[in-house]
Amino acid sequence: MNKSLLASLHFFGVSHHTSKLDIRSKYALDEAKIAQLHDIFKSINGVRGCVIISTCNRTEFVLDGGNETELLVVLCEFYGTDKATIEKHFSYMEGWQVVRHLYRLTSGLDSMILGDIQITSQLKDAVKLSNEASLLSPLLSKLCQSAFKAGKRVRNETGVSDGAASVSYTALLMARDYLGPLNECSALVIGTGDMGRDVVYNLRSKGMTRLTVTNRTEQTGRSYAELVGGNFAPFSDLADEIDKHDIIITCTSAGKILIDNSMISEQDRHQLFLDLSLPANIDLAVNAIQNKMRIDIDAIQMNVDKYLVARRNEVPKAEAIISEELLSFQYKQIMDIASPAMIRLREEFEYIRIEELNRAAEAIGEEHLPAVELLTKRLVKRLAVMPIEIFCGHVEDSTLAMEEILDAAYN
């Protein structure tokens, strides 16, 4: 495998694999901070592109250009910490490791919940922001599009995403276990972002009709409540609304505690507080109140195994598809480099053919010239194709052990 083809690719990331929620919260980014980082990376000589992914489970940087040391300094300065701390929490990858990681990401194999494909739309948002900041280099554009293709193949050709396919859906299955049938419950959804939309969709699929939406921006909240067929409640009435509902779900980017013990009255009814936000929106102390349960993103991970047995059986199929797509991407990268040389070679052969034919035209004779013309054209065609065939065969041979190399590098 030609590692130099993607030597410019760098990756830094902190995720649920290595860090708890409180640590991930420190590195989470909103759009304003992402814009700041875009400006910083644009100012670094040699950085051609950057895609920044920030969700409740991960904050990851995919860069085209620059070097590891320089990029590490940027992260240290932005987060106001030292190199040792960044290296403790952030993993680093380069080259083909980055390609494989993005393929596994869009396939749901790297999600907190196996098969969760919400990350695909989040990566698309990250690509959009990168493009708007003029930081979507040709290489990163090709890489992300190929990752989306790999993810789509995995979803269509395997059962990795069958069943509980998102964090919010799995959380609602846990809610059903705690409260009973959800169609007999009412829910208050705080926030109208991507996670909020996913939650509402799943609540409706469970037959829930009593749904209230609240949001800091009243116009946004009212529009969304009308869209989903729910009621709107002003954010100022949050404490009163909490008492009225069985399930209270936060999915905002507020970045602070919105619900604490003082807002919850002690009553016999069971209530579930589902915190899907990062940083957390619901105080941990809520669990201490009788008949109240708080569940956050990390708690979901501890309860999902029973939903994942069938999906795990599909992982080998998904990995095989990823291997195929990796080989395809490698082949295209090599051919992008080789094709101009192949075209130039044929042009040179044709130039030599015409030059030598003109030189020998008199000796050949006019009556034999058409036959020799045809013969030399056929020779040039065959000679020009031969290097391509040899080259393609070499590429195929060199990629036979690619998966083993990637596994060793990735692990």
Q: Residue 146: which domain range?
A: 3-163+317-330
Residues 297 and 349 in one domain: no
What pLDDT was estimated at residue 389? 60
What pLDDT was estimated at residue 74? 94
Residues 294 and 368 in one domain: no
297 vs 47, higher pLDDT: 47
Residues 127 and 18 in one domain: yes
> What are the pLDDT digits (tens) for 121-164?
899 999 999 999 999 999 999 999 999 999 999 989 998 877 65
- Token look-up 């507080």 returns 273
Residue 399 has pLDDT above 50, yes or no: no
9 occurs within a structural domain: yes
DSSP class per residue in 273-312: EEE--SS--B-GGGGGSTTEEEEEHHHHHTT-GGGTHHHH
Average per-residue pLDDT in the chain? 84
CB neighbour list of residue 168: distance below 8 Å, 6 or more residues apart: 195, 198, 199, 202, 251, 276
**327: DSSP letter:** H
> What are the pLDDT digits (tens) for 318-334?
999 998 898 888 877 77
370 occurs within a structural domain: yes
Residues 190 and 141 in one domain: no
CB neighbour list of residue 297: distance below 8 Å, 6 or more residues apart: 16, 21, 56, 57, 112, 167, 275, 276, 278
Q: How confident is the model at residue 404 (pLDDT cuts 50, 70, 90)?
A: very low
Residue 405 has pLDDT above 50, yes or no: no
Residues 158 and 11 in one domain: yes
Residues 63 and 133 in one domain: yes
Residues 360 and 285 in one domain: no
Give the total number of structural domains in the chain: 3
337 occurs within a structural domain: no
> What are the pLDDT digits (tens) for 242-273?
999 999 998 888 888 999 988 988 778 899 99
> What are the pLDDT digits (tens) for 200-258?
777 777 788 889 999 888 888 888 888 777 899 999 999 899 999 999 998 888 888 99
- Nearest residue to 97 (alpha-carbon basis) of 62, 65, 70, 56: 62
Q: Which domain CATH number covers 181?
A: 3.40.50.720
What pLDDT was estimated at residue 308? 74
